[in-house]
Structure 1
Amino acid sequence: MGLLDDKVVLVNGGSQGVGAAVARAAGREGAVVAVSGRRPEPGEALAAELAAAGGQAMFVRADLTDAEQATACVARVVEAHGRVDCLVNSAGLTSRGTLLDTTPELFDQHIAINLRAPFFAMQAAVADMVRRAAPGTVVNVITSSAHGGQPFLAPYVAAKAGLIGLTRNAAHAHRWDRIRINGLNIGWTATEGEDATQRAFHGAGDDWREQAAARLPMGRLGQPDEIADFVVLLLSDRSGVVTGSVIDWDQNVLGGLD
């Protein structure tokens, strides 16, 4: 018996990286999985992979920077499967900007994908749960940088810190609806997106992962499948009554000093 047997799970930003790992883990645990993203090729390939493994899966093409499309993702899943039991917001933008060089356009891009998209996806999913008077779960994938972060992550930190506040606010508002909403502040993780970011903004070479790992306490970067297992636990009944928690999934300790 899987942790998510017969649950309908929507993973926004689920066509690659952490989102794709969550989709695979949810499928292994018995969920009906829907993934959303802008690019149909990886999204449809992932849905086909999950179906070939014996599960039910669908891809919803959406530009999550558009609030209407973020809402429509939920509507598409409800139309196809009758409900959304679990929502994972894993889409993210990590392009660089400091307080001094961030343009209004860059700031708005970060707000659109890192804060506004989760807000309106949650609005639609929670509305479906409330309409059905049914319990549900939401997990927002955030970042340990939301505690302050590097100077070159100013708009990213601003948006993700807002998502922390939103997670707690929504959890408090809907605890009597038995809707549990939690967040995960993930640390440095080896994903396709991180590889592209390191090469584009930091001139990283092919050995950047090894160099990064040597500077980390556990000697390696976090892995998407490890995060995915944690997300599935939070989505499932095995995480009990926990709601409104924003958990630091990282190997560096907040407030610790050497």
Structure 2
Amino acid sequence: MGLLDDKVVLVNGGTQGVGAAVARAAVREGAAVAVSGRRPGAGEALVAELSAAGGKAVYVRADLADAGQAKASVARVVDAYGRIDCLVNSAGLTARGTLLDTTPELFDAHIAVNLKGPFFAMQAAVADMTARGASGTIVNVITSSAHGGQPFLAPYVAAKAGLAGLTRNAAHAHRWDRIRINGLNIGWTATEGEDATQRAFHGAGDDWRERAAARLPMGRLGQPEDIADFVVFLLSERSGVVTGSVIDWDQNVLGGLD
């Protein structure tokens, strides 16, 4: 459909999972894409895949836990393409911790990846857009756990709830610049990172996806490709004037009780 024809899109945390799916969807819709992350093998392989399919893509090596590298990821895109039109913040750290056992180091790690990195990537992207007097769009991939979450996700919830608030604040601040900023509170999703998390923290076996799906209303986990299509919609003009919205992309209903 060409929803992102001639747009330049940076997907932070784009080398796997939801971010990689967004990169594929953006290229399919006509965008020139940059994917950033700290795994050069995965990033370069994805760029090769996108290029082989006729897309325009580059890999930007960046550890998004470092605010300077998060800002530099935007600068690298501007160097490569001359501008940035769209930013997607999809990097995430989900290491477990409760209120009682979270160390200051673990808390800081969550803040760095899940809040500080997105903050400074947004700062750099909006600075480029406003300097050019250009409109733009940003989507932050958040989590339905930002509403409260499980006890073992305390630092993750704290950081992601901050990102939800930042999404609204930045959208309000830059609405007159015609820069639209929205967020997605995604639910339980079948990604490589979630697979590693389930095995590392919950002793999950090879059948964990099937067992999890059987407990969910729709009978399946969320799929990265479905989320990617929604992200592209929010990045595109098809989503109209919507800004400052943090949308629950989940099969459980907030406030619903059985």
1:65 corresponds to 2:65 = yes
Q: CA deviation at 1:50?
A: 0.7
- Give SS of 1:181's match: strand
Distance (whole Å) between structure 2 residues aligned to residue 90 and residue 195 of structure 1: 17
Which structure 2 residues correspond to residues 9-88 of structure 1 after superposition, within 5 A? 9-88=9-88
Could you tell me which residue of structure 1 aligns to residue 144 of structure 2? 144
Task: Give the deviation of 1:233 after TM superposition.
Answer: 0.1
Distance in 2 of aligned mates of 1:27 and 1:80: 16
**2: CA distance between counterparts of 1:147 and 1:238?**
28
Cα distance in 1 for residues equivalent to 2:257 and 2:201 = 28
Listed one character per residue, the Cα deviations across residues 12-31 of structure 1 (whole Å, up to 9, x for unaligned) are 00000000000000000000
**What is the SS of the residue equivalent to 2:254?**
coil
Partner residue in 1 for 2:205:
205
Number of the residue aligned with 2:177: 177
TM-score for both structures, normalised by structure 2? 1.00
List 4+ stretches of structure 1 deviating above 4 A.
Answer: none
Is 1:222 the equivalent of 2:222? yes
- Give deviations 1:232-253, integer Å, cap 9, x for gaps: 0000000000000000000000
AA aligned opposite 1:142 = I
Partner deviation per Cα, 1:195-219 (whole Å, 9 max, x = no partner): 0000000000000001100100000
Number of residue pairs matched by the alignment: 258
* Deviations 1:130-188, CA, capped at 9 Å, x for gaps: 00000000000000000000000000000000000000000000000000000000000
- Residue 95 of structure 1 deviates from its aligned partner by 0.4
Runs of 5+ unmatched residues, structure 1: none
Q: 1:112 aligns to what?
A: 112
* Residue 55 (structure 1) shift: 1.1
Amino acid at match of 1:95: A
Match status 1:249 vs 2:249? yes
Q: Secondary structure at the match of 1:130?
A: helix
Find the residue that maps to 1:152 and give its secondary structure: coil
Measure the CA separation in 2 of the matches of 1:115 and 1:104.
Answer: 16
Secondary structure in 1 aligned to 2:180? strand
**Alignment identity in percent?**
87
Give the RMSD, CA atoms, in angstroms.
0.4
Deviation (angstroms), 1:115: 0.1
Deviation at 1:2?
0.2
Q: Distance between the aligned counterparts of 2:169 and 2:242, measured in 1?
A: 14
* Aligned counterparts of 1:105 and 1:201: Cα–Cα separation in 2: 18
Report the equivalent of 1:132: 132
State the AA in 1 paired with 2:253.
V
Please tell me the residue identity of whatever aligns with 1:11.
V
- Determine the C-alpha separation between the residues in 2 that align with 1:203 and 1:55: 39
Counterparts of 1:38 and 1:81, CA distance in 2: 21
Q: Secondary structure at the match of 2:35?
A: strand
Q: Which amino acid aligns with 2:165?
A: G
The SS at the match of 2:150 is coil
For residue 66 of structure 1, what is the amino acid of its counterpart? D
Partner SS, residue 15 of structure 1: coil
